Amino acid sequence: MVNKERLIDNFINMVKIASPSLNERKIADYVINELTALGLEVYEDEAGKKIGGNTGNIIGILRSPGKKKVMLSAHMDTVLPCENIKPVIEDGVIKSDGTTILGGDDKAGIANIIEAIKVLKEQKFDHPEIIVVCSVAEELGLLGAKNLDVDKYAPDYSFILDSGGKAGVAIVQTPFTARGEIVVIGKSAHAGISPEKGVNALTVAAHAITKLKLGRIDSETTANIGMVRGGEAINIVMPEVTLKYEARSFSGEKLETLLKETEDVFKAITKKFGAKYIDKVDKGYSGYNLKSDEDIVKVFEKACESTGVSCVTKSTGGGSDSNIYSEKGYKAMTIGVGMSKVHTTEEYIEIEDLYTTTKLVVELLKEIAENDSK
């Protein structure tokens, strides 16, 4: 059924196309050609204009008389370095030559989707209405998904092919997030002549940090200060310092509590030292938690059984386009495509994983169509 050589060739062709975030034009044109050749209705939305990129999300629709609508999605952008990628096939593994990333994150997902549709059309399998979404700027904070008018397509199920792990891995729980800056404002003074006239913003921030909850707070919650920037010169009492802060929790309530506690700390400490602070931390995407008895989980489990792979449901501390679609009210699940060591020059994917994931997508669509006909 799945044409392994064709799948590999298509994947290789795509990873050779550089597609850094906000500059996905070339890979988008490639995807448009592939989907159009398969007879899908193909559209490009206005997401690129909204986020300052040169490309919008690419949407392809394969109509069906069935009632169910299924979104299959993967993102087109990759992290750097992604220029002049030279794929190498060795011992059943596809990798780069070591000077760049490979780009399996997430062109493996796109390759899986395209090949699965080719199989459906060749074998004339019944299928639900398929909505293919190849999103932009996922690596910059899910920007393409945030600017997709998902209500226009209203999928019953959404499967985002964008996770590490073997075929059969399903991400059923992800965290609520918040991130941004906390700016502490002190008062400058000459550090050698009159330091007592100043208020060192870094000193104030340091006192506050000792009272914050950071790192692994509990089994559901983490927080981190990843960057600190400030200062004008070595002989000036630092007048301002900016802390880059993020927090995550599987519990929205716990996240709210943590953010309130963090703000209270800065409020109290800056008041004590005669400083000020500006809280620029905003809520990010919402988490989701799919229960084992939900239809989207049951359908995925059955497809895994038909494919002959183990279904592994798990949580993750990261996010994906699934978070955005879930937040907008649509059941979404991120599934594994076999990519490994992503975001590094050691990235690779096993050919067997690429192949098996495509088989799983085919079975997933067949399963949904079969349920739809009952």
Catalytically annotated residue among 34, 45, 77, 240: 77
**106 preceded by a cis bond (ω within 30 of 0):** yes
Residue 10 identity (one-letter amino acid): N
**DSSP states of 250-306:** S-HHHHHHHHHHHHHHHHHHHHHHT-EEEEEEEE-PPPEE--TTSHHHHHHHHHHHH
Paired strand residues for 224: 246
Nearest to 84 by CA among 369, 365, 359, 345: 345
Alpha-carbon span 158 to 166, nearest angstrom = 19
Two structure tokens written together for 145: 């998904």
Contact assessment for residue 370 and residue 24, using Cβ atoms and an 8 Å cutoff: no
Within its chain, how far is the Cα of 220 from the centroid?
Answer: 19
Verify whether residue 77 is a known catalytic residue: yes
* Count of helices and strands (H, E) across the chain: 10, 17
Contact assessment for residue 145 and residue 324, using Cβ atoms and an 8 Å cutoff: yes
45's CB contacts (< 8 A; 6+ apart) are 56, 57, 59, 147, 148, 149
Verify whether residue 327 is a known catalytic residue: no
Alpha-carbon span 364 to 371, nearest angstrom = 11
Q: What is the CA radius of gyration of the chain?
A: 24
Two structure tokens written together for 269: 């400490």
Nearest to 324 by CA among 179, 180, 220, 177: 177
Catalytically annotated residue among 24, 105, 138, 139: 138
Residue 356 identity (one-letter amino acid): T
Residues assigned a catalytic role: 77, 138
